[in-house]
Structure 1
Amino acid sequence: MDYHITDMLNASQATDFSSAQDHPYRQMPYFLKPQLKAYFSRAIEGRVPMVVNCSAGKDRTGITAALMLTALGVPRSQVMQDYVLSTEYRRPVIERGDVDLAAVAKSNAFAAMMLHYSDRQSTQAAPLITEEGIPYLYYALAQIEADYGSVPAFLDRELGVSAADIDTLKTLYLQ
């Protein structure tokens, strides 16, 4: 399901990943709602394998994976540990590609954001945590729980994933 990155950038006024109150991850599950609905619908129908794509495999992919893992009953500590572990497998040179970000950023909002947060010299991915050691993903899940009380309640009310659907997911994807 397609969307334009500028919609996501405009949906979040925050650009400071160190701000707990305005952290961009707080609104990301809401922005991704149409894609998350499609993802869970296909998973419930058993239409797999599926690919969840984002440029670095941490933001949109991380939230999607966290919601699925939570639905499957994976403990929050393990979800967070797996999310943070993904930093070890990310490669900035691949994420950046061969694009001249400075040139493209003049007319492309996503390139401008990537330029703002990138370090062209780095061969190591930036950790997915704040200076205080809080994983970015925490903010998305905390916002969901503040708004709905739990991830399953969010899945049910916002994405149409019922308790019976979660049982189906567990039957399909857990051994």
Structure 2
Amino acid sequence: MLNTGFSLAGKGDFYQIKIYHLSTSQQENVVDEYLEQAYLPALHRAGIKHVGVFKPVTPSEGSKPDEKLIYVLIPFSSQKEIAKIDSKLAKDQQYQSAGSKYLDAPYTNPPYDRIETILLNAFVKHPKYGVPDLDGPKKDRIYELRSYEGHTEKISANKIKQFNDGDEVGLF
């Protein structure tokens, strides 16, 4: 990954986006229960206060017609914190117990089809995440995840530079 234009290590947040790809309502129910009863509480116990869980209101670009997706956004304060989270979860007996239906699912009945994991680091001009100050019901809130892709690393670095130096971050 080209790091030009991103925050320097230790100067900004890092973000992990987990995308659960599901093909059945049963899988969706198992993952929902796991996230609510095991994963999110364990992350909170590990010191990660805010974790976002999102579902698309319309099919995502590139997804299969009947595919269900669940997005989990986890902000980390350092790369070291990312590296340690799995070992913390492995030692968390409350997590292991509450998540057993998901964690111990048999090969013949998997809780998901695939998990996609994306790691990002914050922009220089927006080094820390912020929680929106909204008061409407959570079920009615709509968020947009924007991503930009370039056909070369140089083009991607230029777009990142526009966000930082051109203050495009300020538009958001």
Q: Same fold (TM over 0.5)?
A: no
Q: Could you say which structure has the higher helix fraction?
A: 1
Higher relative contact order (CA 8 A, sep 6+): 2
**TM-score scaled by structure 1?**
0.24
Q: Could you say which structure has the higher strand fraction?
A: 2
Structure having the higher Rg: 2
**TM-score scaled by structure 2?**
0.24
